[in-house]
Chains A and B, each alone.
Chain A
Amino acid sequence: MDNQTPLNNRIDEILDSLQGMQRATASPHLYTRIKPALAKPESFWIQLARFVSRPAIAYSLSAVLVLVNIWFILSSPPVKAEIANEQLSALAAEYHLSSVSLLDPPNNLP
């Protein structure tokens, strides 16, 4: 406990070290430095990024993307099961695929 008080006092001293501080002053030539940058037009990409990053624009673009996706999903015709089956049957016939049973005689032909 005895050690705590000097430590706390020291911490208070450090925390109070900004009391009475003066404000730092900016360079007197600040405006002279800023002026040429004001005359320079912003690049197209920065303007575009600024425009797109506006909340209203960003939310609208996101909403449009979601709606376009929903529209694509709803408008594409469902894959018909019959067509898929027909294709599989044709494939099976072409390669002579048939279900193999354990009771089938083994194929010992050379």
Chain B
Amino acid sequence: MNEKDFIDRLRNGDEDAFRALVDAWKDRIYNTCLGLVQQGEDAEDCTQEVFITAYRKIGQFREEAAVGTWLYRVAVNRSLDLLRKRSREKQHGEWIDFQHPGVQLEKKQDAAILFRAIRQLPENQKVAYQLQQMENLSQREIAAVMDISESAVEGLLQRARNTLRKILITYLDKNN
């Protein structure tokens, strides 16, 4: 079955098609949300909301983008909404170090430092960097998700790396 037929089935409220969509994409969407919100429960809520939104808004889906691109976009927007809400509520206060379950054991400590630094990046740099690091998306795919040009993505990734270096220099100076 091609993607067009699959989307038609989704638009017609076909439950099997929707279940197939969830099964195919749930890990990628959860991983994306987790990388951005850096909190397991919030990432689960975010993932659920992404698929509920997808189910309700499939009628608004423009077929010039792939379904995956669209889901990533919804996931990024939901994650950023959640992050803004959390920062308004100041619920977390001092952030707890985030341990991503997929990081190799010997790298866990360094990864926690890196995730802490990533939190301080501006939103668009954070999104581009996380989509590249967490989901191994190419610059073209990131550009499609963020609806910007590839050269803009390249610039964002370069700036993100430079900013992270500065943040890490400050962190290491303070902690050594």
Contacts and interface: CB of A to CB of B under 8 A. Distances in A.
A90 interface: no
Contact of B23 (A10, A14, A21, A31): A31
Contact of A18 (B30, B134, B165): B134
B164 A24 contact: no
Contacts of A20: 104
B51 A22 contact: no
Interface string B81-104: 000000000000000000011111
Contacts of A7: 169, 172
A33 B165 CA distance: 40
Nearest to B57: A50
Contacts of B28: 23
Size bracket of the A interface = 20 to 34
A94 interface: no
Interface string A5-43: 001001101110110111111110011011001100010
A64 B68 CA distance: 37
Contacts of A23: 27-28, 31, 102, 134-135
A-side interface mostly: helix
Contact of A21 (B22, B27, B52, B104): B104
A23 B49 CA distance: 20
A24 B110 contact: no
Nearest to A8: B165
The 9 closest A-B pairs by CB, nearest first: A22-B102, A26-B30, A17-B110, A26-B26, A17-B111, A17-B107, A21-B102, A14-B110, A23-B31
